[in-house]
């Protein structure tokens, strides 16, 4: 999808995917998950999904969460796409690629070719 976007839109010259270092990042939703987790610990019994939804909705006094219950039809599968992907173990130069150490994937558009650069940084 990103390759298609990059190739078919004149304004894009590159697209970067940046991956955070596990255990060394803070996202705004981390505190939100913490609020829900603390509220869950105070509950004696949670029998139904509605019980969990109520805890999530009421775990804050201000800025309460809006909780939406999803059904099976709200989800889609990526199996067809996953079957078409190839998990490459080596780059075009034959060097091994460590996907677990990858911190950035950069897609570059040049005039005649499409280039993917993978940056690995050791933590």
Model confidence band, residue 51 (pLDDT cutoffs 50, 70, 90): very high
Residue 115: its H or E element? strand 114-120
Dihedral angle computed from the Cα positions of residues 114, 77, 98 and 21, in that order, rounded to the nearest 10 degrees? 100
Q: Name the nearest CA neighbour of 101 among 83, 79, 123.
A: 123
Which backbone phi and psi does 91 adopt, to 5 degrees? Answer: -85, -175
Euclidean distance between CA atoms 119 and 56, whole angstroms: 38
Domain around 96: 2-120
Tell me what the mean pLDDT of segment 84-94 comes to. Answer: 80
- Mean pLDDT, rounded, of the chain: 82
Contact residues for 90 (Cβ-Cβ < 8 A; gap 6+): 96, 97
Most confident option among 9-18, 85-94, 110-119: 9-18
Domain count of the chain?
A: 1
The answer to whether the predicted template modeling score (pTM) of the entire model surpasses 0.85 is: no
Euclidean distance between CA atoms 111 and 15, whole angstroms: 15
Dihedral angle computed from the Cα positions of residues 88, 92, 98 and 102, in that order, rounded to the nearest 10 degrees? -100
Judge contact between 118 and 102, C-beta under 8 A: yes
Tell me what the mean pLDDT of segment 55-73 comes to. Answer: 92
Tell me what the mean pLDDT of segment 89-99 comes to. Answer: 82
The fraction of the chain above a pLDDT of 90, given in percent, is 28
């Amino acid at each position: 999808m990103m390759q298609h976007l990059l190739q078919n839109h004149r304004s894009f010259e590159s697209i970067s995917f940046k991956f955070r270092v596990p255990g060394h990042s803070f996202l705004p939703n981390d505190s939100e998950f913490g609020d829900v987790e603390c509220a869950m610990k105070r509950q004696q019994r949670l029998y139904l999904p509605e019980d969990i939804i109520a805890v999530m909705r009421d775990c804050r006094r201000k800025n309460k969460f809006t909780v939406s219950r999803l059904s099976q039809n709200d989800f889609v599968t990526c199996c067809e796409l996953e079957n078409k992907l190839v998990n490459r173990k080596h780059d075009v130069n034959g060097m091994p690629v460590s996907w677990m150490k990858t911190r950035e994937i950069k897609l570059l558009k040049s005039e005649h070719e499409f280039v993917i650069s993978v940056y690995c940084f050791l933590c």
